Amino acid sequence: MSRSFPKAVWAGSLERYASRETMARMMDRLARGGFDLVIPIIKPGKGGVLYRSERIPMDPALKGVDALRLCIEEAHQRGIKVHAWSSVFREGPESPLVREHPDVVAVRFPSASPLPPGKPNTWVCTARPEVHEYEAAIFREVMDRYDVDGIHYDFIRTGYFQCSCAVCRAKCMELTGQADGVMREPADASNIMARGYEEWSAWRVSNVTRFVETVSDVAHRAGKEVSAAVFISFPLAYCENGQDWPDWARRGLVDIVMPMNYSMSRKEVRYYALTHRPLMEGAPARIWQGLYHGDVRVPADHFMDRVRIVRQCGAQGLVIFEWSGLTDELADRLAAFEQEWIAC
């Protein structure tokens, strides 16, 4: 069903719904709330995947259950579309990619804050061809083996102050004449004004955009939609995370951009929603604001205030992070909101 203000939900923790009964119950709730799209995670970025792959081990938390297929079947029975969600440039130590090519793990900038003891860096280098091929193959496999309506990019960025591996350092030296003086956290006037800094930033952006160009072309040729969870702040997304999502929107590389507008502050939500619309001017893509409601303790009134704010600020749809926080009460409130808005 096409609605004036479509609604979507990110569906993490598939292992909690890895039975026909629990999946059907959640899809009933989504249908009750008038949802148009569910976005189940297929690769969380820990190493395994959450679907039946011929290449990559399934996450043991699913206990062999093909929860993605259950999700698709139950969603389609209720007229709800499905976009397969991958945390693109995140891989854990058990990832086949990392085991075969350990040097693709991103190297944090020399001055970056150290990670907590025992916590591995799960970002991979966005400049490496083997990374692009591995991550693209996941999307191709899912589109070939499952009846998904689209694909969804998440972590489609470099990560803060990543990467200073040998490849990235060599490129930085080529463009700026230095490495450590540019690869510094936090960025300040000295490295931002360095010769070639903007060219080096553009190179980092180009690596991410090249992946989007390649995979989106495959998806669109297959008749699939493409959506993306994107960094809330721009141009910070470009400068520090290598993500130029307004460019993707203007060029039609993605069909829906979903800024992660997760603040609990109504004022901040309004501010960011207002800054996003000019970035989308003339773009064929739509913008659906992403709001946080992953905790059932968040009052429904507070959440609905944020929904009204983003709608008033020009959002063309809503996406909620994530479905574990969706209650029957909130589903009913969201269904009523559609009629409330139409009546206005």
Q: What is the mean pLDDT of each run of 10 residues along the chain (344 residues)?
A: 83 92 97 97 94 95 96 98 98 95 91 83 96 98 98 95 90 89 72 82 96 98 98 93 97 98 96 96 97 84 96 96 92 87 50
How many Å from the N-terminal Cα to the C-terminal Cα in the chain? 21
- HSE-up (13 A, CA, CB side) for residue 94: 12
Q: What is the pLDDT of residue 65?
A: 96
**What pLDDT score was predicted for residue 341?**
57
* Cα gap 103→4, rounded to integer Å: 47
Whole-number pLDDT of residue 180: 80
50 alpha-carbon distance from chain centroid: 16
Q: Which amino acid is at 249?
A: A
Q: Residue 214's closest CA among 318, 136, 275?
A: 136
Q: Which helix (H) or strand (E) holds 257?
A: strand 256-259
pLDDT of residue 115: 84
Pairing of strands 7-11, 317-321: parallel
Q: Cα separations (Å) of 305 from 229, 297, 300?
A: 22, 15, 9
Residue 99 CA to residue 306 CA, distance in Å, equals 43
What pLDDT score was predicted for residue 296? Answer: 65
At residue 269, φ and ψ (nearest 5 deg) are -60, -45
Q: Which of 35, 34, 33, 31 is nearest to 9 (CA)?
A: 35
**How far is residue 320's CA from residue 245's CA, in Å, rounded to a whole number?**
19
pLDDT of residue 169: 94
* Closest C-alpha among 309, 274, 276, 279 to residue 291: 309
pLDDT value for 1: 41
* Residue 59: DSSP 8-state: P
